[in-house]
Amino acid sequence: MDYFDISMFKNFFTKNLSYKIAAVILAILLKLYFVSPRNQITDTVNVQISLIDIPRTMAVVSPPYIRNLTTKLTVNGPKSIVEQYKNNPKEIKIPLMHLSQKQLLDKPITERVNLRDFINVPNGIEVDELEPRQLDIVLDRSLKKNVLVDVKSNIIGELSEGYELKSITATPSFITITGPTAELNKIESLNIQKIDISRYTESKEEYADLETVNDSISYDIWRVRVNIEIVQKTKDKLFVNVPIYSVVDEEDETEIIIAPSFVRAKLKIREKDLEQIKIEDIKLIVDTRLLPPGEHFVEPKLENVDERFSLIWTMPRTVSVKIK
């Protein structure tokens, strides 16, 4: 049978007694320090609100920007704990999966949430006030819709003199968006982020993000490829009595008769070169090297590609080429 050893019991309380007394006194002092009015502070903390577990058949209509939801807490407590909480507040998570049991009719439903029920603050801190106290979450049936990507509305800037924007297209030109029925009905197209073309002097390919309508709408893609076609400005000019030349093999002595041998030619010319282009710069040809003897009707062509101008038409459109 074991007997209670009174000496061991006494030794437990008397051994290192001075250290134990000091520890108790320190604990009391720390306790008094933390509860001292001088150490207590009141401060405000902005806390992020997250809506989680949203049913797949529903979409949030309001608040419209759910990624930026916050509430402002007024808290009091020991200074060190309050400051630590303020530097790293825990977000308020509001689960909505229970709403999947509700039947959506022809109009949205509203769920009123008391935010105090979801606040998580460290021990020692008390919440005196929060703004807002409640959050009204409006949900509607979630649907999908294809909408046009509008690339023209957000093209800004003026091109340098002598250049013009010929075309601008997006790839893909349509995207699928998902969101509440009432919000989808308001959207016919989506804009891209602004693109400044003032520094461009040639065609470009850019990637642009789509503008956000609100957080209740999601996109199947968030970025599109934008093809910007920039050309130099041109003007049409008519030239008369432009000679036509035949192209033949060097050793070919075949007689070739072109009629008429002079035509009218309408050219598209870069604006900056308009006054410099003369008839001598325009060499119209008919290629006879593969033509058999006889009479043919051939469209005159420019001999060489010249970036300054291009041929629109000749009058007449074809000329007679007789090969003997």
Residue ranges of the domains in the chain?
A: 39-142, 143-232, 234-323
- pLDDT exceeds cutoff 70 at 190: yes
- Which residue, chain included where needed, has tokens 């919440």? 127
Of 8 and 268, more confident: 268
Query: Taking 90 as the threshold, does the pLDDT of residue 65 lie above it?
Result: no
Residue 22 predicted with pLDDT over 70: no
Strand 174-180 and strand 134-150: pairing? antiparallel
Q: Is the pLDDT of residue 89 over 60?
A: yes
Q: What is the CATH number of domain 39-142?
A: 2.170.120.30
CB 191 within 8 A of CB 148: no
Q: What is the pLDDT of residue 1?
A: 46
Give me the pLDDT at residue 38, please.
Answer: 65
Residue-wise pLDDT for 107-142, tens only, equals 788 889 999 999 888 888 889 898 999 999 988 888
234-323 classified as CATH 2.170.120.30 = yes
Q: Which CATH class is domain 143-232?
A: mainly beta
Q: Is 239 exposed, middle or buried (0-12, 13-18, 19+ CB in 10 A)?
A: middle
**pLDDT tens digits, 49-61:** 999 998 888 888 8
- Record the pTM: 0.54
Domains 39-142 and 143-232 share a fold: yes
pLDDT in tens, 25-50: 666 655 555 555 567 889 999 999 99
Looking at residue 6, what is its pLDDT?
Answer: 60
How distant, in Å, are the alpha carbons of 63, 233, 291, 298, 318 from that of 249? 79, 38, 12, 18, 22
For tokens 């590609």, name the residue.
Answer: 305
Residue 268's nearest CA partner among 254, 282, 258, 255 is 282
The tens digit of pLDDT for each residue in 246-291 reads: 988 777 778 899 999 999 999 999 988 899 999 999 999 999 888 8
The per-residue pLDDT for 315 is 96
Which residues fall within 8 angstroms of residue 128, CB to CB, at 6 or more apart? 42, 74, 75, 76
- Asked whether 243 and 281 are in contact (CB, 8 A), the reply is no
Among candidate residues 150, 248, 233, 157, the one with its CA nearest the CA of residue 196? 157
Percentage of residues of the chain with pLDDT beyond 70: 87
Buried b (16+ CB within 10 A) or exposed e, 58-74: bbbbbbeebeebebebe
